[in-house]
């Protein structure tokens, strides 16, 4: 794949610019591209520590990813609900949902393949068998997976019509101005930092309903219910109203040594069973 990127920050190192501009490209991967001569300016390779001026066009050659088979791994799962159609797992902080660059194994998918065998839907392809929705690596809590395609289609439809309800617990910085409210603000990829999302005019509609649970000095313990499911939605929305999640340094939150990431936990999940039509509420406690 060939990309033409235009530098936008004078004096920024080339490897920093690439990792910031190409989604999913780590700093070390950007350095390898530069070392291999895959990043050129007017046909000439540039060095990884080069600091091009703003407005310089770079041609970037990104090789096709090598297909790495996903292997089942005996990773313990906290199964909250399971039957022949679906499985709901309480995902711990630090676990990635499916293999991706930088995370080839040790994911929830590797664990599900061990636990469920071949009984996972194939709609999302070989990389994400069974996965209907995702939560961030450093977000804990409930995630549902489908064991066959019919269940996957039914659950995906519920995501669209909001009958699959998800409620999150979070700690935000500062005191929320209201005891309850709704944030209706469109979200899209950040215009300069491709690894982040942002409230952007013309982005996809995103709606988060929040309610205060407990107020503390300088912090608020709240719950958020998603009406839509955009990437990083709660994190972006709370930062947008001036109350980033505690520990969420990506979106302006304060780092805390005892926290692995943002204070965000998918606490409740309610779905309509794809076979019986029964409404199934599931809940899990906050992590330690």
Interval 193-242: pLDDT, tens: 777 899 999 999 999 999 999 999 999 999 999 999 899 999 999 999 99
CB atoms near residue 179 (< 10 Å)? 12
In the block, tokens 């350095």 appear at 31
pLDDT value of residue 66 = 57
Percentage helix, strand, coil for the chain under 3-state DSSP, each rounded to 5: 15, 30, 50
The first and second tokens of residue 184, run together, are: 């209706």
Domain match, 257 and 184 both: yes
Closest CA to 118 of 67, 68, 72: 72
- The first and second tokens of residue 141, run together, are 């809590």
Does residue 12 have a pLDDT over 80? yes
Residue 286, domain member (yes or no): no
Q: Are residues 180 and 129 in the same domain?
A: no
- Residue 126 is predicted with a pLDDT of 67
Q: What share of the chain has pLDDT > 90, as a percent? A: 59
In a domain, 34, yes or no: yes
Pair (125, 148) in one structural domain: yes
Q: Is residue 105 part of a domain?
A: yes
Tokens representing residue 122 in the block:
């194939």
CB 52 within 8 A of CB 105: no
Q: What confidence score (pLDDT) does residue 254 get?
A: 92
Let me know if residue 180 belongs to a domain. yes
271 found inside a domain: no
Domain count along the chain: 3
**pLDDT band at residue 181 using 50, 70 and 90 as cut-offs:** very high
- Predicted model pTM: 0.77
Single out the residue in 124, 143, 161 at which a domain terminates. Answer: 161
Residues recognised as catalytic: 136
At residue 68, the pLDDT reads 60
Domain with residue 203: its CATH number is 3.30.2350.10
pLDDT average, residue stretch 266-275 = 96
Q: Calculate the average pLDDT of the chain.
A: 90
Q: What is the pLDDT of residues 38-93, one digit of tens each?
A: 889 888 888 878 898 888 888 888 877 555 678 899 999 999 999 999 999 999 99
Q: Which domain holds residue 11?
A: 2-61
């Amino acid at each position: 794949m060939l990309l033409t990127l235009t530098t936008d920050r004078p004096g920024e190192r080339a490897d920093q610019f690439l990792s910031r501009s190409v989604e999913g490209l780590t700093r070390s991967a950007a350095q390898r591209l530069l070392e291999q001569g895959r990043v050129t300016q007017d046909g000439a390779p540039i060095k990884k520590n080069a600091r091009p001026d703003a407005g310089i066009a770079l041609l970037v050659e990104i090789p096709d990813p090598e297909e790495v088979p996903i292997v089942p791994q005996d990773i313990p799962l906290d199964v909250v609900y399971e039957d022949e159609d679906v499985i709901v797992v309480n995902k711990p902080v630090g676990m990635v949902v499916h293999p991706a660059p930088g995370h080839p194994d040790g994911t929830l998918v590797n664990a599900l393949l061990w636990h469920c065998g071949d009984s996972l839907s194939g709609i999302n392809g070989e990389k994400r068998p069974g996965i209907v929705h995702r939560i961030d690596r450093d977000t804990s809590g409930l995630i549902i997976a489908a064991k066959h395609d019919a269940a996957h289609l039914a659950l995906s439809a519920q995501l669209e019509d909001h009958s699959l309800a998800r409620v999150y617990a979070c700690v935000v910085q500062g005191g929320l101005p209201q005891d309850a409210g709704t944030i209706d603000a469109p979200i899209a990829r950040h215009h300069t930092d491709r690894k982040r999302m942002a409230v952007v005019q013309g982005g996809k509609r995103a709606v988060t309903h929040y309610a205060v649970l407990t107020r503390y000095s300088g912090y608020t313990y709240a719950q958020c219910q998603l009406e839509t499911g955009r990437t990083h939605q709660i994190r972006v929305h709370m930062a947008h109203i001036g109350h980033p999640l505690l520990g969420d340094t990506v979106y302006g939150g304060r780092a805390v040594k005892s926290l692995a990431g943002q204070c965000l936990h998918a606490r409740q999940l309610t779905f309509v069973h794809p076979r019986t039509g029964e409404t199934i509420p599931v809940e899990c406690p906050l992590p330690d």
